[in-house]
Amino acid sequence: MALMTPQEYIESLRKLKTRVYMFGEEIKNWVDHPMIRPSINCVAMTYALAQDPQYADLMTVKSSLTGRTVNRFTHLHQSTEDLINKVKMQRLLGQKTASCFQRCVGMDAFNAVFSSTYEIDEKYGTHYHENFKNFITMVQDNDLTVDGAMTDPKGDRSKAPSAQADPDMYVHVVERRPDGIVVSGAKCHQTGSINSHWHIFMPTISMGEADKDWAVSFACPTDAEGMYMIYGRQSCDTRKLEEGASIDVGNAKFGGQEALVVLDNVFIPNEYIFLNGEYEFAGMIVERFAGYHRQSYGGCKVGVGDVVIGATALAAEYNGVEKASAVKDKLIEMTHLNETLYCCGIACSSQGFKTKAGNYQIDLLLANVCKQNVTRFPYEIVRLAEDVAGGLMVTMPSQKDFESDTVVGRNGETIGDICNKFFAAREGVSTEDRQRIMRFLENMCLGAAAVGYRTESMHGAGSPQAQRIMIARQGNIQGKKQLAKDIAGIK
């Protein structure tokens, strides 16, 4: 099958029997639901750009398994150039959507599970790697979107999976059959889960022998029997349900999506199992996936940051302060922070190395430095955006007020007339354009898009302390102490 078009992707979702719940009710036509459709449009952009010849080098690549042209989101990295192009592709998509385009978690899961299954088979003589190669070939040939599901609810975080009062706090095997396994549990905060054709489930922490039933990784179709999703809320999300609120939404076309993914005794055939009780490899999958995903943030958040900086510059221009030295300095600082994130993404990619399985992995230390910066810099970027934009960003009347024909003035002025008069921009700029850029910045800084640009920057791919733990492990303090001893003459 050739690369899918955006339209083919959207129609392929309609064919699934995915169970989606929102506000306590099942959503039958979730593909066209106004709160969900913007996130589908984001994923569709990954298909649209792959069809555009000017982006072919970034968006498509020859498969290492079949030699056929595939979407880079389904690719197994074969060089440091591949790793760098991944980051460039993610920046491009951030620029095109100003949102989370949701396909990165699957790509990062592919590469982590590919190399890990090779080493599990090497030790135990299992067939997980062959299972995974068959699966990823199917994904590539059909240009599928796959969600990478890692984060468990965790329950009491002071206790291991096997010690939880409720065993479902971590996804686990409840029954082993000759033809497969039955699994139960849930995954939280799952980006793009509803919009995916398949899911790859992975462990979320390192495990001990007592946790072997929780040391499980597998692939599962999104509409498998016993699997369903409960849609997560976002700030200002119901604006998407309002009539005549296309401006108030801020970003009417694109958006992100997170859900609770529940596995209620779901059967997984043997051919889709990639880990089943080999507990000592759970940590390897976690570490490798986290490394790839922390690299990803050096691309996607940078692309979104580009749009935030552009919107901030427009707000300054519309307010008539673009020439003020303080405003120029703030834009310089925003650009400096954003490009620093990009530098980290490119650096950890350029220092990548070949795994035993043959695909390439990023430099783990630099990937964790990248994500540590991502937990901070987007917050400062949006703070500066709010500084430049001013209070109108969050106090402006609604779009309906600007369009209202209700008479309120002594001379027959309508509410719309009054709003357009007193919220006018500089000469030559329409009030509506100013209104649009303010609402867009509100969406990015505080609204629905802040989920993907702010909080996800903090907790996605691991919270800040997770990166600090990895930096401590990878930082080679003992080797650096020896460098100092050698120079200082200490034996």
Q: Beta strand 216-221 with 227-231: parallel, antiparallel or unpaired?
A: unpaired
The residue count of the chain comes to 491
**Cα–Cα distance measured from residue 119 to residue 440, given in angstroms and rounded to the nearest whole number:** 47
Among 307, 328, 322, CA closest to 440: 307
Question: The tokens of 122 are what?
Answer: 């090497």
Per DSSP, what are the bridge partners of residue 360?
354
The number of beta carbons lying within 10 Å of the beta carbon of residue 42 is: 27
Collapse the DSSP code of 287 into the 3-class scheme (helix H, G, I; strand E, B; otherwise coil) and give the result.
helix
- Which sequence positions are flagged as catalytic? 100, 104, 191, 258, 293, 297, 300, 456
pLDDT in tens, 188-230: 999 999 999 999 999 999 999 999 999 999 999 999 999 999 9
C-beta of residue 306 within 8 angstroms of C-beta of residue 331: no
Helix runs in 98-231, H state only: 104-124, 128-142
Side-chain-side CA neighbours of 264 within 13 Å: the count stands at: 9
**Cα–Cα distance measured from residue 14 to residue 351, given in angstroms and rounded to the nearest whole number:** 42
Backbone angles phi, psi at 420, to 5 degrees: -70, -25
pLDDT of residue 1: 64
Residues 6+ apart with CB under 8 A from 90: 104, 296, 299, 300, 302, 303, 345
How buried is residue 8: exposed, middle or buried, by Cβ count under 10 Å (0-12/13-18/19+)?
A: middle
Collapse the DSSP code of 266 into the 3-class scheme (helix H, G, I; strand E, B; otherwise coil) and give the result.
strand
| Helix, strand, coil % over all residues of the chain, rounded to 5 | 55, 15, 30
pLDDT of residue 2: 82
Question: What does the pLDDT profile of the chain (491 residues) look like in tens digits?
Answer: 689 999 999 999 999 999 999 999 999 999 999 999 999 999 999 999 999 999 999 999 999 999 999 999 999 999 999 999 999 999 999 999 999 999 999 999 999 999 999 999 999 999 999 999 999 999 999 999 999 999 999 999 999 999 999 999 999 999 999 999 999 999 999 999 999 999 999 999 999 999 999 999 999 999 999 999 999 999 999 999 999 999 999 999 999 999 999 999 999 999 999 999 999 999 999 999 999 999 999 999 999 999 999 999 999 999 999 999 999 999 999 999 999 999 999 999 999 999 999 999 999 999 999 999 999 999 999 999 999 999 999 999 999 999 999 999 999 999 999 999 999 999 999 999 999 999 999 999 999 999 999 999 999 999 999 999 999 999 999 999 999 999 999 99
